Every structure is written in C-alpha cells, then in structure tokens.
Amino acid sequence: ASSKVELRRSHAIAIATMWQNEDGKRRISEEKARRLTNKALVEADMNELGDASFAQVVDDLCKIGCIELSDGEIWLREWIRRNWP
C-alpha cells in the first residue's frame, strides 16, 4: 500500500529553513524549526503555521523520508538543492 503526500510551498520553505539552520550534524530541534519556518513564511508573505499545521508538515516530510523526528529533534535525511536565490 502506498500513500501520497501533497507537498505545498510551506513544505519547501520548512525543509529549506531546516537545512539553513541545522547544527552541522544535520539536526535541528522541532521548536527551532517551527519558529524559523514561521519567520521564513512571513518573509515570503505567507501565513505562519500553527502548532498543528507545522506538526502536519513535519509528519508529511517524515512520511516521504526527508526527515526523521525523535524526542523533539529533527534529523535531516535527504539532501536538497535550491534552484532559487
């Protein structure tokens, strides 16, 4: 059984923000990721994500194998390449 995940701009901003702010070991706290993602969303003229919405973005990224979440810490598993400034 396969599941589909619809990725939105908020997912892209979240994963890019996580990579820009990881600790050098490809890890970032979930709280820091949420705070910085919301800052990036506001800078992109988008609405901030509430706790439940951010948790859904994290869950979606876990489902497709981009990240893993354990004890409030996100491990970035997949490298990304940005094609925008």
Q: Write the pLDDT tens digit of every residue in 15-46.
A: 999 999 999 999 999 999 999 999 999 999 99
> Rounded mean pLDDT of the chain?
93
| pLDDT at residue 84 is higher than 80 | no
At 18 the pLDDT is 97
| pLDDT at residue 83 is higher than 90 | no
CA distance 81 to 34: 21
At 24 the pLDDT is 96
| pLDDT at residue 1 is higher than 60 | no
CA distance 31 to 36: 9
At 75 the pLDDT is 97
Strands 73-76 and 67-70 come out as antiparallel
Structure tokens at 60: 């979606």
CA distance 77 to 52: 23
Q: Mention every residue, 6+ apart, whose C-beta is less than 8 A from residue 28.
A: 18, 21, 22, 73, 74, 76
Residue 79 is classified by DSSP as -
